[in-house]
Structures are given as C-alpha cells and as structure tokens.
C-alpha cells in the first residue's frame, strides 16, 4: 500500500511525519505494507472482521430502551510509539496513580489536603462520589483505585496530555488484549521482524494485583468478578477477564453475606467463601443496605463485610471521589502536595465553572471550548462548542449557571491522527489512548493500551457507543 497519497492536514500524525514519511518506529510497518495491494489488505481486513464475529467480540449499545450487541469495530493499521517516548508516559502514569491513591485515602481519613488549603472544601462538599460510608477506612496497602484507565491525547504540537482518569470501573482492557491477538493472526511476520513490547501478561498481573488484596494471606484466594449481568455494555469484558484469570463470574444474587460477615458464593455443593471481589458495578448499586435500597444488582451486607476486613473489593467503594472532571483539574497540585514532584504528564488546560472569573470566560467563549459535566463518561453530557448549534450552547449556558460546580471547560484540542483504513485507502482519523495501571502491593503499567479512533471524518468522539473504533497499540523498541 502506497502512503504517498496520504493527506497531510497540518496536525500531528502518529505514524507519518510532516514530510509525508513514516516516523522511525513505524518504518518497518510501512515497508511491510508497501508489498500489499489494496485488494489483499482489504481481504485481510475482511478476515479479521469474520474472526471478530466468530469469536463473539462484542459491545452493547443502548438505544430507545433496547440493547443492541455489535461486533467490536477494529482498524487493522496499528498505532505505534517508540519505547523511548513511552518510558516517560509510563513514569507519569505511575506518579499519577500513586498520588491519587494517597489523595483518596486522605479524603476518607485526616483530610489534610483540605485543611492545608490545597483542595477546596466546596469541591469535596459538591462531590457526588464521596461516600460517607467509607470514612475512617484504609484498605490494604492504602490503595483504593487498584485498576485505573487513564485517557491520553496528543495535541498538534506533539504534547501528550492526560484527558481524564477513570478510577471507578474502567473498561476496555479486554479489547486491548483481543486487538493484539487479532493483529498477531493478521501480520505474524511483522511480530517476528519488529520488537513490539507485549501486553499479553495483563491478566496474570491483574490476578496478582487482586490476589495480594486477600484478607487471608497464606491461603489461595478465591477471586470473583461481580458483573451486573449479560445486558451490561461491558459484559464481554467481565466474562473474558474472569475466564482468563481463573476467577468466578458472579452476579449479585449469587452472593450472600453470612453471620460471620464473610461473603459466600452459592454453589450446588453449598457456600464457598469469596476473598476478593473485582466489582464491575457502580457504588450506588453495590449494597442495598448501604446505598440504593432498590438495587437488585448488589449484595446486601457487602459494605459491612468490607469494612470489617472480611473481603477485599477492587476498586474500593468510594474510589470514584477522584474520578471527577472537576477534581481532575487539581491533580497537578495533588501530585505536588503528596509527592513533592511536578507532574510528569500535564493536564489539558482547564477552566472551573465554579470560579466566578473562569465561569465568565467560559460563558463568553462557549463557541470555542469543550464543556464537560463532572461525572458523565463515554462522551455523554458534554458539548464541543465549535460544532454545537447556538441553541445547544444556550442550553449549556443555562445548565452552567444553574449548577456551576458540575461543569468544567477545556480548549478544543487538535487531536493527533493516525492512518486508518477507510474505503480501501488510508485516511487520517483522530484518536486517543487508554493505558491501564494496576496497583496493590506492586504497580504495573501496560506497554501501550487501548487506542480508540473516531471512524467518522473530522469527528473527535472516539467512544465505541458513538461510532468510534479501535486499533492495536504498538510500543516498539527502537534500535539506535
């Protein structure tokens, strides 16, 4: 496939430089692809699509009250980054998660960061994810967010920014693993020629992370993945991770908290104790005795068992207090406060609507900014000002004025692009990257992550539920 006709658009492209040549880490890929004519490349793409259907790699979208399973959208041109650049990203992610866990633990205990005036009490008071039920608790190793998915973007000048931290129930890692498996099937020769760093050990590392949390050291822990059920959009991932780890996949009604405050799974042979729960259910639905009494997804008494140290839960209840787009704006200060270090990875410049001067700027520039609510995810509830109608901007103006604590704004970044196979040829499409970080006794960062790509021309929305797709992410060891 010839890249000479690839349209350069003045933005940073992950694989092609400003002169139209492959960047050094992508050189081997394009030398390899040059031997393919478009028909052969599209035949391989069709083979991958067929494999996705056969293997049942799906996600669920919700439309008009119905659940629709769709095949996972996958682009066969990988996103590539050199390991020398990746090492800085790795260090920044480790720094960030370490500081965030110290922050969460402080908020539920001494709240020193509030007393010292670094984190405003009004931000904490307005947090929808701060859980009074968690006050006074310090989980094992002081870690609350054991699994984090941090979204990264690159701007037109090549700077990598942190867009947001996902600390409640981050998803997508199964697709990262499946993408790699599909690419090994598709281009096995490339994996023999190139030093592409592996991601295959993720489920082993996840198991180690969870096992270290067990309240019963010295015993082989029983780990359960707690899922809302088959109609959840990430159910494929829940079942995949359980199977890969050798964990049990359970729903709320499968578990019971007994008089000894231990959690047990109901089996045909009687009750079996569960030591660690990897929960994929939001806090509100975890335990009807502590949170929403109408929840049929959770386990009555689960919070009591956790508070008394009879079961470990990952991510810990209450970890979402740091998973807030307003709290996000304070993360560089959080890193400085707890670690006495400057942030390695910068935040996207942000404006807090709860600050009068910054709110005034946001309201005057709604046509230039991206405005996000504090606790929505998946690209929902936000407005991209330059692409919004006047009526949409006016509606957001009213929402900001009604609840300024709930909104923050950022400039519209010129997100980097990467060549994507579209209609038989290569076209630039915007993308982001979600690496995954594990922390309990030790810390582990994936070498790469889930690259999500906006398949529609010009779109900045990469979420699969809104038409996005994904790519395999290659971190390549460069020869110097």
399: domain CATH number?
3.30.1490.270
**Taking the C-alpha atoms of 125, 364, 457 and 455 in order, what is their torsion angle to the nearest 10 degrees?**
0
Tell me if 134 is assigned to some domain.
yes
Q: Which residue, of 292, 311, 339, is where some domain finishes?
A: 339
- Per the rule left: phi > 0, alpha: psi between -120 and 50, beta: everything else, 423 is left
In a domain, 62, yes or no: no
Mode of pairing for the β-strands spanning 450-454 and 425-434:
antiparallel
- Asked whether residue 389 is assigned to any structural domain, the reply reads yes
Closest CA to 55 of 238, 199, 178: 178
Residue 313 structural domain: 90-158+200-339
Number of domains in the chain: 2
pLDDT block averages, 10 residues each, the chain of length 480? 78 93 92 82 78 66 52 84 96 98 98 97 92 96 97 95 93 92 88 90 97 94 96 90 97 97 96 98 96 95 97 97 93 98 96 93 93 75 86 92 92 91 86 97 96 86 72 86
Which of these, 423, 470, 475, 473, lies nearest to 57 by C-alpha position?
470
CATH number for the domain harbouring residue 328: 3.40.50.11290
296 with 399, same domain?
A: no
The domain boundary residue, chosen from 309, 339, 369:
339
The verdict on 374 and 251 lying in the same domain is: no
pLDDT value of residue 4? 75
Examine the domain organization and report whether 220 and 273 are in the same domain: yes
End position of a domain, from candidates 299, 315, 339:
339
In this structure, the answer to whether residues 149 and 235 fall within a common structural domain is yes
Question: Is the same domain home to 335 and 374?
Answer: no
Q: Is 403 domain-assigned?
A: yes
Same domain, 246 and 391: no
* Centroid of chain to Cα 133: 26
Two structure tokens written together for 161:
């920014």
Asked if residue 56 belongs to a domain, the reply is no
Residues 204 and 104 in one domain: yes
For residue 136, give Cα distances in angstroms to 73, 109, 322: 44, 5, 17
CA distance 478 to 480: 6
Which pLDDT value is given to residue 351? 94
> The tokens 């059920």 sit on which residue?
229
The token pair that represents 235 in the structure block: 């159910």
Cα separation values, 441 from 108, 137, 423, Å: 20, 18, 48
Q: Using the 8-state DSSP alphabet, how is residue 300 labeled?
A: T
- Category of 437 on φ-ψ map: left (φ > 0), alpha (ψ -120 to 50) or beta: beta
209 and 358 part of one domain: no
Q: Give residue 68's pLDDT.
A: 54
117 and 224 in a single domain? The answer is: yes
Sequence-distant (6+) residues with CB within 8 A of 91 are 344
Whether residue 109 is contained in a domain is answered as yes
Residue 211, domain member (yes or no): yes
| pLDDT value, residue 63 | 47
Neighbours of 259 (CB within 10 A): 6
User: What is the reported pLDDT for 64?
Assistant: 43
**In a shared domain, residues 400 and 328:** no
Question: Do 308 and 399 sit in the same domain of this protein?
Answer: no
Is 473 part of any domain? no
Same domain, 108 and 221: yes
């Amino acid at each position: 496939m010839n890249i000479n006709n690839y349209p350069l658009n003045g933005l940073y492209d992950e694989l092609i430089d400003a002169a139209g040549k492959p960047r050094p880490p992508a050189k081997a890929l394009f030398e390899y692809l040059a031997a393919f004519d478009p028909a052969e490349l599209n035949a391989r793409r069709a083979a991958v699509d067929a494999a996705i259907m056969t293997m049942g790699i799906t996600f669920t979208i919700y439309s008009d009250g119905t659940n629709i399973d769709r095949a996972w959208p996958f682009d066969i041109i990988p996103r590539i980054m050199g390991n020398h650049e990746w090492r800085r990203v790795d260090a920044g992610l480790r720094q960030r998660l370490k500081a965030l866990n110290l922050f969460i633990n402080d908020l539920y205990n001494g709240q020193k960061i509030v007393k010292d005036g670094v984190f405003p009490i009004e931000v904490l008071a307005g947090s929808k994810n701060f859980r009074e039920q968690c006050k006074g608790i310090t989980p094992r190793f002081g870690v609350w967010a054991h699994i984090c998915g941090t979204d990264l973007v690159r701007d037109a000048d090549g700077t990598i920014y942190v867009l947001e931290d996902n600390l409640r129930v981050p998803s997508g890692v199964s697709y990262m693993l499946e993408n790699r498996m599909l690419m090994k099937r598709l281009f096995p020769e490339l994996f023999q020629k190139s030093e592409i760093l592996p991601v295959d050990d993720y489920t082993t590392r996840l198991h180690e992370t969870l096992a270290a949390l067990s309240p019963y050291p010295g015993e082989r822990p029983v780990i359960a993945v707690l899922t809302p059920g088959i109609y959840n959009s990430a159910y494929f991932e829940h079942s995949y991770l359980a199977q890969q780890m050798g964990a049990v996949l359970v729903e709320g009604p499968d578990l019971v908290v007994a008089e000894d405050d231990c959690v047990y799974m109901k089996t045909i042979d009687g009750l079996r104790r569960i030591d660690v729960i990897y929960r994929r259910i939001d806090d509100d639905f975890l335990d009807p005795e502590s949170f929403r009494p109408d929840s049929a997804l959770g386990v009555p008494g689960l919070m009591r068992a956790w508070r008394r140290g009879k079961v470990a839960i990952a991510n810990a209840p209450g970890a979402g207090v740091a998973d807030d787009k307003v709290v996000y704006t304070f993360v560089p200060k959080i890193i400085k406060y707890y670690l006495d270090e400057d942030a390695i990875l910068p935040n996207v410049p942000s404006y807090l609507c709860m600050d009068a001067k910054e709110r005034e700027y946001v309201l005057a520039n709604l046509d230039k900014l991206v405005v996000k609510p504090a606790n929505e995810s998946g690209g929902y509830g936000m407005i991209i000002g330059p692409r919004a109608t006047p009526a949409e901007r006016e509606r957001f103006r009213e929402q900001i004025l009604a609840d300024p604590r709930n909104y923050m704004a950022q400039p519209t970044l010129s997100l980097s692009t990467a060549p994507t196979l579209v209609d038989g040829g290569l076209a630039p499409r915007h993308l982001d990257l979600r690496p995954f970080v594990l922390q309990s006794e030790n810390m582990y960062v994936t070498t790469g992550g889930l690259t999500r790509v906006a398949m529609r021309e010009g779109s900045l929305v990469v979420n699969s539920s809104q038409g996005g797709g994904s790519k395999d992410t290659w971190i390549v060891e460069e020869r110097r």
